[in-house]
Amino acid sequence: MTDLPQSLPQAWRPPMGWNSWDSYGTTLTEDELLANARFMAEHLKNAGWDTLVIDIDWYDPTARAHGYNDNAPLILDEYGRQLPDPVRFPSAAGGKGFGPLAAAVHELGLKLGMHMMRGIPRIAVDKNLPVYGTNYTAKDVADLDHVCKWNPDNYGLNQSHPGAQAWYDAQLDLFASWGLDFLKVDDMQTPFHSDEIAAYHRAIAKAEAKYGRSIDLSLSPGGWVATSYVDFLRENAQMWRISDDLWDRWEDIYQQFARLARWAPFQTTGHWADADMVPFGHIGLRAERGDDRQSRLTLDEQKTLLALWCMGRSPLMVGGDLPTSNSDAIALLQNPALREVLAGSTNNRETVRERIFGKWWDESTYRGEFIVWSADAADWADGTRSAHHGGHYAALFWTGSDTYEIGRNIQLQSIVGLDARNDDWTLSDLYADAPGESADVRLEGVGADRVITGTIPPHGVLWVALDRR
Amino acid sequence: MTDLPQSLPQAWRPPMGWNSWDSYGTTLTEDELLANARFMAEHLKNAGWDTLVIDIDWYDPTARAHGYNDNAPLILDEYGRQLPDPVRFPSAAGGKGFGPLAAAVHELGLKLGMHMMRGIPRIAVDKNLPVYGTNYTAKDVADLDHVCKWNPDNYGLNQSHPGAQAWYDAQLDLFASWGLDFLKVDDMQTPFHSDEIAAYHRAIAKAEAKYGRSIDLSLSPGGWVATSYVDFLRENAQMWRISDDLWDRWEDIYQQFARLARWAPFQTTGHWADADMVPFGHIGLRAERGDDRQSRLTLDEQKTLLALWCMGRSPLMVGGDLPTSNSDAIALLQNPALREVLAGSTNNRETVRERIFGKWWDESTYRGEFIVWSADAADWADGTRSAHHGGHYAALFWTGSDTYEIGRNIQLQSIVGLDARNDDWTLSDLYADAPGESADVRLEGVGADRVITGTIPPHGVLWVALDRR
Amino acid sequence: MTDLPQSLPQAWRPPMGWNSWDSYGTTLTEDELLANARFMAEHLKNAGWDTLVIDIDWYDPTARAHGYNDNAPLILDEYGRQLPDPVRFPSAAGGKGFGPLAAAVHELGLKLGMHMMRGIPRIAVDKNLPVYGTNYTAKDVADLDHVCKWNPDNYGLNQSHPGAQAWYDAQLDLFASWGLDFLKVDDMQTPFHSDEIAAYHRAIAKAEAKYGRSIDLSLSPGGWVATSYVDFLRENAQMWRISDDLWDRWEDIYQQFARLARWAPFQTTGHWADADMVPFGHIGLRAERGDDRQSRLTLDEQKTLLALWCMGRSPLMVGGDLPTSNSDAIALLQNPALREVLAGSTNNRETVRERIFGKWWDESTYRGEFIVWSADAADWADGTRSAHHGGHYAALFWTGSDTYEIGRNIQLQSIVGLDARNDDWTLSDLYADAPGESADVRLEGVGADRVITGTIPPHGVLWVALDRR
Amino acid sequence: MTDLPQSLPQAWRPPMGWNSWDSYGTTLTEDELLANARFMAEHLKNAGWDTLVIDIDWYDPTARAHGYNDNAPLILDEYGRQLPDPVRFPSAAGGKGFGPLAAAVHELGLKLGMHMMRGIPRIAVDKNLPVYGTNYTAKDVADLDHVCKWNPDNYGLNQSHPGAQAWYDAQLDLFASWGLDFLKVDDMQTPFHSDEIAAYHRAIAKAEAKYGRSIDLSLSPGGWVATSYVDFLRENAQMWRISDDLWDRWEDIYQQFARLARWAPFQTTGHWADADMVPFGHIGLRAERGDDRQSRLTLDEQKTLLALWCMGRSPLMVGGDLPTSNSDAIALLQNPALREVLAGSTNNRETVRERIFGKWWDESTYRGEFIVWSADAADWADGTRSAHHGGHYAALFWTGSDTYEIGRNIQLQSIVGLDARNDDWTLSDLYADAPGESADVRLEGVGADRVITGTIPPHGVLWVALDRR
């Protein structure tokens, strides 16, 4: 049987999708996007993946790997609004924008998103194009003092000028008319541009009301974004990055432990802190960082990333070109535990983070950190898929490059509460069906003395559900 | 397009269903249940209604309207577990219990629930039947000192005896084997039986794990249940009553204002305070209170009940016999705003409650109370149905028996926040398509001075959405 | 021994003081204030009372009972800032303002506050006086469209003009130079003037920094103030009214039950919702409402008011002329439980509110409401005064005009938690030493069945502490 | 003037005291304690320090530095309860316990605490002494399976035996009769002994009620204590350790950053997560770890410890022998900012934690972590001491061993909120009067672009208050 609602609140769980950045950088084509969409519909949609995002510079006909172009001849309409490069996106020819592409993606039961820079195109300012629906021009509203430091496409907007809001309104009106479901807006948070964010959100709200559809707003990038902004971010966006760009190296994953621990208490339905890309599978085809490769992350590091993102309730945006990614990566993404924990865990938090030494009192023998996350499990309306009823989730991570024996320090009651002793509990491995070696993890002991124990591989995780027998 | 998940957390929104108590009391038959199920599937399922609950004494072959029977010859199995009366529920013949009926309801895409009393049948104790799976007998586990004060079927359970848990485990094992989705368990909260509730929850958790399905636990009744119990209730149940039985009279609805205001801050996904039945349409066919009738609540009182329950995020359980209920009642239940607000509102709370007098300083001229609730609106993934994006909901109630002119006291910013002045806002009537007269409600003024104003009918409500233009 | 800190966070507990409004209206004199201050120092300071507030129109030489004067010849300095009427406040002569009076009050170990209206004196505008420290004039900054509806002294301020902030800065600079500790600012919340409140708060912050002292800001009045404003109010004020003026009649106290229940979850250190005056003792000497009298509230109503205000953590501002108030009123104010509960209770909330009928199902027999509040008790550093360690407080109110037998519905565990059964508990009457009859309240039963029971007098309360034996 | 209350809630702010462990280990004498008490009264009491704690084994006449003694001839009374070694504590002679010493400390206006081990002395069990007030004996209540792993004094207690509670009751009755104010109880949390903690708390509550005084309960040690236990810990203790023992090395301080960040959101009045000792000044005289020395922490590391503990609202327990400690250590402890922030900050949290590299994308150039904490400042009733009104606190830490230039990444608005632009703000150094070099920290820029910038020394901190001008 089924309990499917006809509709759900927007971003009711952290979004799960694909983004072109890690594989195609600024150069994605329509064919490549559609190939990924078809692969998702066939192989990943059942596991919860449902969105595809076209990253930066889809309006630059000179886009290339490894960098941005000064003075690029951006494709704009008569009001300075960006249009897709018709060479890369043939369906956009004739001013149709991403409308035909969105329709094709919707046809597959999926959602389409795209990237946008804060501000107004420099070309629109140089040509002093009119701001749609107003008597202002691009020069009136541009702010030449607050421009992006790393991308040369745009100037800033002078938010004290009434035409600045009108510019964003006009942009969003066009984008929403194409039927987009998701917008990733860049250069918003470092430094933190609160006026820009609020103005963008207002423009989206108006476009949503006009076109009767919802559009997720994703803010980027997130270097050093303080948790102090959380109320403001919740009011204005569906998700916001909490770090700079993440790539396929352990250091980048390691850094997310502290950030997700800081943000986890603030994750609420509809509004999510975002730990960035999942750089799995075939990446670097024509990307910003590195060359064509399968992800350099080990299988254990990939399991760690997914378990940490899910326990921290971060959105998941895969970067690898799906049709040409290795089968292990695809198998990891098909794990139903991802959606289950993203959607149905509460009270998620880091409960232990300890530095481990080979020899006590000798700092030179530092081995790594042992980190525990726990969460409560929601029950599920569809009993056929999951046996995790009224239980809990735990992830036990090890950041060292050797293996780690847990010992007897993690009492079951520290995960499931003080009534651990009153019930029989079972432990099940959430990576039981995943590629790679079986996990060594188990429950031992009785009553209040019961512990979770086992061995964690290098940069690895034991990810388990704990249920009443 | 669609964003339908294959599964969702249990009770991710307050349940919406039908319960036999108001129409059939203790006497419901299989045919009557199925008639209501078919009606729900055809006319109400699209609006979010999906559960049917068989109320008390389905195991009593002598059940009748207006009261309970001492020494009734309850139908029990050899372990004392209740079985449906095969006369009223022919499909249960041959020891099949509610299995066939559950299958028939599931076939309609709906869920089946039933009622149970705390404790163990007196007959099982008198006969000293064995407790399934143990060497104990019913006499070992019964508690003759803590029996229900209003229903004579059962004794209590001695929770310090190990067989007490075994009894509940055995019961739930049987019920879950039938495929039930929902259990309403009675005499749990007045007085508050914490050991019983925890034991029942443990039994359900075990049955859920064994049968791979989830079962919502609804606790009843709720007279004087203190909010102090909220953590315990969340740990153990999906919903819990917060009042004694509610019937079709204004006084009963009026009393729920204070209770829902007290509980609203504690409503969280998966765990809901329950303001009891929605006594609309054709009730009293063979019920506990009153005779065969269409609900005595006026249309405005019915609108008030639904708006209050939704703004307070209470489960909705309709009591009227659906196929024979009046069309106005059915039309009210079909309003898509019910599910929209139940599922997608946050930060729900009473913000104003004021006693109004005809003449200032003269208590003898008391007219009624003016009460305001507000909530934030989630955005929606399915833009085809709702235009309420990033907005807010407000309900303005009037408990007096004359009409009430709101005046200029309800500033828009008290609902939507201090940026009320920065945006254009629209107001839309959530009862615009409902039966009855159009609501007189509107926005007036500009900026921080903007107010919501209008006229509220006797015992009525103005229920609106406020959205950015 | 002692644990006295040299300083504490501002408004670390709800303020306790005296305000001239109920006894002297607009007409208070210096001698009257000092008589109240001396009485407080001698008889009430030990119980926590420490502030005296001069209410409205201390700058109007024509002030009188029962009303305000149009075109009153307000005493202003050359910049339009109000100065005390030197006839009523001789120490203010020579432009010394309330400096000498503040010094005299400080000498007694007490604090001095005064009242102020939002906006700028009409006289200052008519004369177009300069705004101190600027090149603007009163006409530049006045807003003639947003004037107080009930007091004719002032115009509003145009908050979009830069001189508006300068006006408040200048006012506060003068007031702070006098050494004031407390400001009650009126006409701020009905309608809600967020810009005015923020501007006033900024002016206070600057004055505090300049003069190195703190000034409590109290906002008034509070008719229909929505809880939605709570974050803004916390950011800007120490206390804010949540109702219109309260006088010595039961109806006014009765109305505060719903308001305090709504606000109680939001009470946090430093920022308090304020249920208004405590109209006890000798009031109406030359006041706004009614004639010279001892408070018309019965002794039980007075006990109800104090218990409700304390359980709701409202500031206490006594209105009666202290030296000439009846001894019962003074004895009630001397109860050490007031400060104990105001300062050291947490998790304060209404847990039960039930309408009681003489005959079930018969609305014509409505008797009143039975209302329960509970809170956790902090332990105390000074063991000599209080025996309430790690316990709880409960107040059981009855709004009917007959007496109410509680019966057995209030389980101890609903106040102290589920371990009620594991401990021996004692109940002590917080009004044990108060005037009036001894309370009839006790613990009965054992374990989870233990209940609080007793009889509540008309409009009365049973107020108790519950401690582990 | 003054606003001093006669009493305050217990542990209304994190305790500030001295503990003998770092300097005297198990061997403290009465003379040494009194010397420290006199020094505190004279030099530190004004800054908020008010408690002295005698650490472990005060009942062992054979106590020595560097370890514990098996089979030590503990001094016990006839019921097995520990008594002070009368050689080291002459005033305890004649069975007077710590009564005379407590009186002497109280005479100085200070509080006395002591250490206790979980369980019951092995000697009491070997001799099978009676449990005071019961017919049980020590053998009845002992649990030989759950004994401390590192100290041989005691056996565990069998908490399912009724005499176990009686044993703790008897112990606490004796200790409370001496007039103690503080108890540090050891071996409670690793592994987590919830039954022991609850039993100990019950015993304290009974003793508090009997003797009319309050006793702070401090739980220890805290290795790997999960935040999941927070509700339980709040219910039962005033403070609880969150790490193993901390000594005077950078590694130990460094580890506390992650732990305090995890616990900071849970710090509430009366109940504090404890980051352990402040090992400043003259330590190791006869201690567990290391030899006689002045603290090996650098001055900057000491400033970092104090700023982190205060921003995280951890109790402060100094370990150095005060009379013989170096003047820099004493000067740091006299800083009024310690008490100010401990007592009057709210919303304390880590907002940024970033790993810094010398060369981007090159992990081998890792330099250290840049960590920011912020908090809101309470206003203060005693304006003579502090100019921090309605402001904020920020601490900017650097864990690297070189110096760190902050750059322009820390926007003022990330500390003080989005109205940073509307006010003039001042920055003041909370270590302005401390020993060592002046801090290089300042505000730069205007409006939303304003940043905090400066240079942080190795392992150092910039600790500032931000106030409206």
Asked if the structure places residue A222 within a domain, the reply is: yes
Tell me what percent of the residues of chain B surpass a pLDDT of 70: 96
pLDDT at D185 over 90: yes
Residues 6+ positions from D397 with CB-CB distance below 8 Å: D257, D304, D307, D308, D369, D370, D371, D372, D373, D456, D460, D461
Q: Of C234, C238, C142, C232, give the one whose Cα is nearest residue B413.
A: C232
Q: Which residue has the higher pLDDT, D265 or C39?
A: C39
SS (H, E, C) chain C: CCCCCCCCECCCCCCEEEECHHHHCCCCCHHHHHHHHHHHHHHHHHHCCCEEEECCCCCCCCCCCCCCCCCCCCCECCCCCECCCCCCCHHHHHHCCCHHHHHHHHHCCCEEEEEEECCEEHHHHHCCCECCCCCCEHHHHEECCCCCCCCCCEEEECCCCHHHHHHHHHHHHHHHHCCCCEEEEECCECCECHHHHHHHHHHHHHHHHHHCCCCEEEECCCCCCCHHHHHHHHHHCCEEECCCCCCCCHHHHHHHHHHHHHHHHHCECCEEEECCCECCCEECCCCCCCCCEECCCCHHHHHHHHHHHHHCCCCEEECCCHHHCCHHHHHHHCCHHHHHHHHHEEEEEEEEEEEEECCCCCHHHEEEEEEEEEEEECCECCCCCCCCCCCEEEEEEECCCCCEECCCCCECHHHHCHHHHHCCEEEEECCCCCCCCCCEEEEECCHHHCEEEEEECCCCEEEEEEEEC
pLDDT confidence of residue D140: 97
User: Which pLDDT does position A285 carry in this prediction?
Assistant: 97
**pLDDT above 50: residue D1:** no
Look at C270 and D378 and tell me if their CB atoms are within 8 Å.
yes
The partner residue sitting opposite B224, judged by closest CB among C223, C232, C409, is C409
A330 with A453, same domain: the answer is no
Chain C and chain D share a number of CB contacts under 8 A equal to 168
Q: Report which of residues A191 and B332 the model is more confident about.
A: B332
The arithmetic mean of pLDDT across residues B323-346, rounded, is 95
Position A6 scores a pLDDT of 53
Q: Is the pLDDT of residue C22 over 90?
A: yes
Asked which of A306, A334, A362 is the last residue of a domain, the reply is: A334
Q: Tell me the CA distances in angstroms from C158 to B115, C193, D85, one per residue in order.
A: 64, 12, 75
In the structure, what pLDDT confidence band is assigned to residue A339 with cuts at 50, 70 and 90? very high
Confidence of residue B9 (pLDDT cuts 50, 70, 90): confident
D residues 204-233 closer than 8 Å to C (CB):
204-206, 208-209, 211-214
Distance (Å, whole) CA A42 – CA A29: 20
pLDDT tens string D34-52: 999 999 999 999 999 999 9
Band of residue A448 on the pLDDT scale cut at 50, 70, 90: confident
| pLDDT score of A383 | 43
Touching subunits of D (3+ CB pairs, under 8 Å) are A, C
Q: Residue A385 above 50 pLDDT? A: no
Please judge whether D262 and A265 are an interchain contact, meaning their C-beta atoms are less than 8 angstroms apart: no
Q: Which of C426, C273, C443 is nearest to C342 (CA)?
A: C273
Q: How confident is the model at residue D117 (pLDDT cuts 50, 70, 90)?
A: very high
pLDDT of D171 > 80? The answer is yes
* Mean model confidence pLDDT for chain A: 93
Q: Are C297 and C325 in contact (CB under 8 A)?
A: no
Q: For residue A151, what are its two tokens? A: 């991308």
Q: What is the pLDDT of residue D9?
A: 79
- 273-302 in chain A: CB under 8 A from chain B: none
State the pLDDT confidence band at C388, using cuts at 50, 70 and 90. low
Q: Which helix (H) or strand (E) holds B328?
A: helix B327-333
Residue A51 lies in a domain: yes
Q: Cβ contacts of residue D272 below 8 Å, gap of 6+?
A: D11, D14, D15, D238, D239, D240, D313, D314, D315
Specify if D100 maps to a domain: yes
CA atoms within 13 A on the CB side of D77: 17
For residues B362 and B323, membership in a common domain is answered with: no
Quick check: A340 and A309 in contact, CB under 8 A?
no
Alpha carbons C345 and C312: distance in angstroms, whole number: 10
Band the pLDDT of A8: cuts 50, 70, 90. Answer: confident
Q: What is the pLDDT of residues D414-459, one digit of tens each?
A: 998 877 877 788 899 999 999 999 999 999 998 888 999 999 999 9
| C367 and C443 both lie in a single domain | yes
Answer yes or no: do B28 and B90 share one domain.
yes
pLDDT band of C441, cuts 50, 70, 90: very high
Mean pLDDT of B401-424: 89
Amino acid identity, position B272: W
| pTM of the complete model | 0.89
Q: Work out the average pLDDT over D344-357.
A: 92
Look at residue A1 and tell me whether its pLDDT is greater than 70.
Answer: no
Q: Chain A: residue nearest D258 by CA?
A: A353
pLDDT-derived band at C413 (thresholds 50, 70, 90) equals very high
The domain boundary, picked from D302, D334, D366, lies at D334
* D8·C3 Cβ contact <8 A: yes
Does some domain include residue C158? Answer: yes
| Residues sharing a CB contact under 8 Å with residue D361, sequence separation 6 or more, in sequence order | none
pLDDT band, residue C12 (cuts 50/70/90): confident
Residue D6 belongs to some domain of the structure: no
Q: What does the pLDDT read at residue C69? A: 94
Contact A372 D226 (CB under 8 A): yes
SS3 B280: coil
- Residue D113's nearest CA partner among D187, D39, D32, D50 is D50
Do D276 and D403 lie in a common domain? no
Mean pLDDT of chain C: 93
Kindly state whether residue C5 falls inside one of the protein's structural domains: no
Q: Which of D209, D385, D386 sits opposite C389 (nearest CB)?
A: D209
- Among all residues of chain D, which has the CA nearest to that of C206? D469
**What span, in angstroms and rounded, lies between the C-alpha atoms of B36 and B319?**
11
Is D339 domain-assigned? Answer: no
pLDDT band for position D59 (cuts 50, 70, 90): very high
For residue D274, the enclosing domain spans 16-334
Number of folded domains that form chain C: 2
Average per-residue pLDDT for chain D? 93
**What percent of chain A stands above pLDDT 70?**
96
Backbone angles phi, psi at A312, to 5 degrees: -90, 0
A41 with A421: CB under 8 angstroms? Answer: no
Mean per-residue pLDDT over chain B, rounded: 93
Q: Do D374 and A228 touch (CB under 8 A)?
A: yes
Mean pLDDT, to the nearest integer, of B185-207?
A: 93
As a whole number, mean pLDDT of residues A235-247 equals 95
CATH number of the domain within which B156 lies: 3.20.20.70
The mean pLDDT value for B210-226 works out to: 90
pLDDT in tens, D353-402: 999 999 988 989 999 999 999 998 876 654 433 555 568 999 999 999 99
Determine the average pLDDT of the residues in D100-118: 97
Strand D239-241 and strand D216-219: pairing? Answer: parallel
Domain of A374, CATH number, reads: 2.60.40
Given a cut of 90, whether residue D304 has pLDDT beyond it is yes
Q: With cut-offs at 50, 70 and 90, classify the pLDDT of residue B47.
A: very high
SS3 for A466? strand
Interface of A with B in 387-406 (CB under 8 A): 387, 389-390
Residues sharing a CB contact under 8 Å with residue A248, sequence separation 6 or more, in sequence order? A22, A279, A280, A283, A290, A293, A295, A296, A297
pLDDT at position C240: 98
User: What pLDDT was estimated at residue A192?
Assistant: 94
Please tell me whether residues D357 and D328 are part of one structural domain. Answer: no
D320, part of any domain: yes
pLDDT at position A253 is 98
Contact of B269 with A346, CB cutoff 8 Å: yes
Task: Note whether A329 and A355 are same-domain residues.
Answer: no
**pLDDT tens string C260-296:** 999 999 998 889 999 999 999 999 999 998 999 999 9
Contact yes or no for B390 and A201 at CB 8 A: yes
Starting at the edge strand found earlier in the chain, the sheet holding A51-54 runs A272-274, A239-241, A216-219, A182-186, A111-117, A51-54, A16-19, A316-318
Instruction: Find the mean pLDDT for residues C291-315.
Output: 98
Q: How confident is the model at residue A305 (pLDDT cuts 50, 70, 90)?
A: very high
Whole-angstrom distance, CA of residue D186 vs CA of residue D207: 19
Judge if C371 and C305 occupy the same domain: no
Measured in whole angstroms, how far is the alpha carbon of residue A394 from the centre of its chain? Answer: 21
Chain D residues with beta carbon closer than 8 angstroms to that of A410: 224
pLDDT of amino acid B6:
53
User: Residue B377 has what pLDDT?
Assistant: 85
**Rounded to an integer, what distance in angstroms lies between the CA atom of residue D142 and that of residue D126?**
10
Domain boundary residue among C276, C302, C334? C334
CB contact under 8 A, B382 and A205: no
Q: Tell whether A266 and A370 lie within a shared domain.
A: no
**Residue B335 in this model has a pLDDT that exceeds 70:** yes
Cβ neighbours around B148 below 10 Å, total: 17
Mean pLDDT over B375-394 rounds to: 67
Task: Please compute the mean of the pLDDT values over residues C20-31 and round it to a whole number.
Answer: 97
Across residues B337-358, what is the average pLDDT? 93
Q: What is the model's pLDDT at position B389?
A: 57
Residues A432 and A297 in one domain: no
Q: Domain check: are C171 and C249 in the same one?
A: yes
Nearest CA-CA partner of B308 in B369, B380, B226: B369
Q: Which two tokens stand for residue B309?
A: 């329950």
Mean pLDDT of C448-469: 94
One-letter amino acid for residue A239 of the chain:
M
Residue C383's pLDDT band, with cuts at 50, 70 and 90, is very low
Q: Is C255 on the interface with B (CB under 8 A)?
A: yes
Q: What is the mean pLDDT of residues D260-266?
A: 94
**Dist CA D304 CA C54 (whole Å):** 47
Report which residue type is found at C365.
T
Shared domain check, A395 and A256: no
Residue B36 contacts residue B323 (beta carbons within 8 Å): yes
Between chains, do C10 and D48 touch, taking CB under 8 Å as contact?
Answer: no
CA nearest to B469 within chain A: A206
